[in-house]
Amino acid sequence: MSATPKPKVTVILANLGTPDEATAPAVRRFLKQFLSDTRVIEIPKFIWWVILHAFVLPFRPKRVAQAYASVWSTDSPMREIVLKQTQLIKQRLLDENHQFDLTVVPAMTYGQPSIYAVFEQLEKVPQEHVILLPLFPQYSATSTAPLYDAFARWIPNQRHLPGITMIKDYYQHPLFIQALVDSVLAYQEQHGKPEKLLMSFHGIPQPYADKGDPYADRCRMTAKLVAEALHLNEDEWAISFQSRFGKQEWVKPYTDVLLEQWGQAGVRSVQVLSPAFSADCLETLEELAVENKETFQHAGGGEYAYIPALNTDQAHIDLLASLVQANLDALTHTLAHR
């Protein structure tokens, strides 16, 4: 008798995305896709279409491409890191889950490797179950929800659907908090402790938060738990939000404004951590590490350093693998009792 086939399971590790190249045309393609998403920009479509095509896409790609070129090696930093994360997590999961025919793949909401290319593979080889892990520690309708939307567009056209599990986020998971704490302590062991630790998160427009997006509150909880674990006093740390776009109000305090105030106040040293990012990217390597350093020091501040994202740190891989493993364990139980 032939052995019973193992259930096929695909794990998708998904991040936001990145251009194919550090060139203006490639950046333009990426920005057009990204900024056309109504989850990201909640302006009436026609009005935003005019703004995007008349004022953003003709001018912004060249400047952004130059910024990408400053951090680009053989590929986009984010894509390189996500591919490595996938490789490490895949090996961990394959070693521990012989009961499944397991596939672990990377995906991007915008750009390559595309989430829609993953869907094409799922159609070619039907799966028993799909587990989606968005690599956004704090859920937002602007980052995590577009992945849900992608599934929602794919599902109606499928006849043989897999079971689907979507891991919403992990902003207060003990392993996540400990990984952040360990990264700070390891950095400070080499470089010393600063006068201020700033936890800076990617921002969202304030109206999005007012309408119910929980992202900012989740960021505040992450920062609070990290500060508590580091035993920091209130005057030793702060939270802020970066990367404002457009003229509307965004969640506050703003990172650049706070750093300028600290510089003017004569703060001697700042270290910046960005717990919203599972992989370093243009925003962390250029905006946080370079632009904001200039803002702080030009205002009179002293030493400034950016603490890298968790990237492929062992504790980070352990965390991400454990999030998936918990769902694989639940699936094992479910399949055994159906």
> How far, in Å, CA of 323 to CA of 201, rounded?
22
> How far, in Å, CA of 292 to CA of 271, rounded?
11
Per-residue b or e along 40-55, where b marks 16 or more CB atoms closer than 10 Å to that residue's CB: bbeeeeeebeeebeee
Per-residue b or e along 135-152, where b marks 16 or more CB atoms closer than 10 Å to that residue's CB: bbbbbbbbbbbbbeebee
On whether the CB atoms of residues 93 and 328 are closer than 8 A, the answer is: yes
> How far, in Å, CA of 322 to CA of 35, rounded?
33
> How far, in Å, CA of 246 to CA of 60, rounded?
13
> How far, in Å, CA of 112 to CA of 10, rounded?
18
Confirm or deny that 98 is annotated as ligand binding. no
Confirm or deny that 53 is annotated as ligand binding. no
**Which strand (E) or helix (H) includes residue 10?**
strand 8-18
Q: How far is CA 101 from CA 92, 138, 263, 266, 305, in A?
A: 14, 30, 55, 58, 44
Residue 158 backbone zone (phi > 0: left; psi -120 to 50: alpha; other: beta): beta
Angle (CA) 40-41-45 rounded to 5° is 130
φ, ψ for residue 18 (rounded to 5)? -165, 155
**Single-letter amino acid code for the residue at 256:** D
Residue 102 backbone zone (phi > 0: left; psi -120 to 50: alpha; other: beta): beta
Annotated binding site: 202, 283
Binding residues for Fe(2+): 202, 283
